[in-house]
Amino acid sequence: MANAPHGGVLKDLYLRDADKQAALVQEAKTLPSLLLTDRQLCDLELILNGGFSPLEGFLNKKDYDGVVENMRLASGVLWPIPITLDVNQAEIDESKIQPKNRVVLLDPRDYQPLAILTVEDVYRPDKSKEAASVYGADDKAHPAVNYLHTIAKDFYVGGSLQALQAPAHYDYVSNRFTPSELRAHFKKLQWTRVVAFQTRNPMHRAHRELTVRAARARKAHLLIHPVVGLTKPGDIDHYTRVRVYKALMPKYPNGMAELSLLPLAMRMGGPREAVWHALIRKNHGVTHFIVGRDHAGPGKNSQGVDFYGPYDAQALVEKYKDEIGIEIVPFQMVAYCPDSDEYMPANEVPEGVKTLNISGTELRRRLRTGLPIPEWFSYPEVVKVLRQSHPPRAQQGFTVFFTGLHASGKNALARALQVSLNQEGSRSVSLLMSENARTELSSELGFSKRDRDINISRQAFVAGELTRAGAAAIVAPIAPYDNARKSARQTIEKFGGFYLVHVSTPLEDCIKRDHDGVYERARKGEIKDFTGIDDPYEAPQDADLTVNLSEQSISQAVHEIVLLLEKDGYVGSA
């Protein structure tokens, strides 16, 4: 039979509140509302469906203090991660958030009411203490600590919840099971022993081998239970990962494994997170849980040292195993032995036997360059999915972002680069000239710093979407401010290449090139806030290429840009 939930009772608030739903929906129309963040939405879903049993709401101050200080709720029940609802003062005032008041919590994607919160208390947390106690260090190199200090708001709201409806999902709906549904599914399948495997990465042959070995050793069935909420920044998107998991599932013996998606917002909290993950799986009805080496580790701290030891998570789970109430299966690394064409546990490989491995860095390089990925490492069906989502550089988009003074020659250079790339013919090329962008995107804006930054942000958004679609975008604004350019880089480079080209033609030469007499009018005071005259130009220190069109030809400058693109594989690749 399925494992008992943590705390003894599955807190499925949808079932608990079903008979009151009509009255709650009507009441919700009369209450103030609060729009959730993406992390709060993930947390709310798992509170409401029982994944976070025994929680029935966001932690009040007493529970929060207990969890932070000793991993226990006020009741004494083990709980390692604070589940909090953070708000700012404006939200407190606008939504009338104070003890005994009721507030409707809204889905940030469609503004649908999901739950009613009865406020117990509002408190200001000690974020540095939370960081040090829960994550081991008050170091912003840790993604959860960075979130605490730069994204999470100043106050926490504690209180109990009543369920209105579940958040809507439109992707992989058939693979999304609540704890109640998964328990019923196990019962239907007559599964009594289930090993759960947690992952936030694509799975390959080694993962299939180690999960089969874990299930075989425990005489159990297997639940592949990946996180599809919020994971570590930079992780592969969940759409790609789920396509990989679905491609992998037929590689298991028939009837051995099931796939269920978990809408969890990970904190990358290492040892405490491992305990948390085990409790969540216990609530979903599994009996065994695989805890890996450096489980949920965030990588290195600001001193370049790993935040957690490789086996810290396994040690903490072992310490609390009786309270967790789920059998922990240590993650056994496996290695490929080419001479015998098999995977073996790394600690069982005889001395002198050759082994092969492909690191994550090497896999990304092979995807980027189109190099082959051997079948001993991953299945062709999995590789096909990864190549669709991560094509080689020659098929990816990129943006060339010019910056420079008016009449520096950047517009002529941008046009010449467009012609050169059109001639190359490997992808669609779009040119966003400063004057066109002003007319089409930012006609209502002036030339204050704020308006200039908004204009650059809009152009970066368009260039990012073009880059995402595999096109080449050429953007040629003046872009005088460093922060706006850095923000543009962050917006675009997550979708493909970004190259900042500083056209450094000196001001005196720009004035000579100015056939429209704009500089002269600015000097006379007829034009205000003109870059280079009475408004600063912050020369970039992070340019990928600097060209001075007083000293070199446009043809040479175009050639240097193309060489940059060729070096990184965006053009000229076979």
Q: Which residues are catalytic?
A: 199-201
Q: CA 127, CA 146: separation in Å to the nearest integer?
A: 11
- Quickly list DSSP for 148-212: HHHTS-SEEEEEEEEE--PPP--SSGGG---HHHHHHHHHHHT---EEEE--SS---HHHHHHHH
Q: CA 24, CA 44: separation in Å to the nearest integer?
A: 17
Whether the bond into 179 is cis, omega within 30 of 0: no
φ, ψ (nearest 5 deg) of residue 558: -60, -45
Helices 449-468 & 434-441 angle (0-180, nearest 10): 100
Say if residues 306 and 297 touch (Cβ distance below 8 Å).
yes
Instruction: Locate all alpha helices (DSSP H) within 108-158, ordered by sequence.
Output: 127-135, 143-150
Q: CA 67, CA 82: separation in Å to the nearest integer?
A: 6
Would you give the distance in Å from CA 285 to the centre of its chain? 28
> CA torsion sign, 8 to 122 to 154 to 94?
positive
Say if residues 33 and 104 touch (Cβ distance below 8 Å).
yes
Q: Between β-strands 113-123 and 102-106, what pairing exists: parallel, antiparallel or unpaired?
A: antiparallel
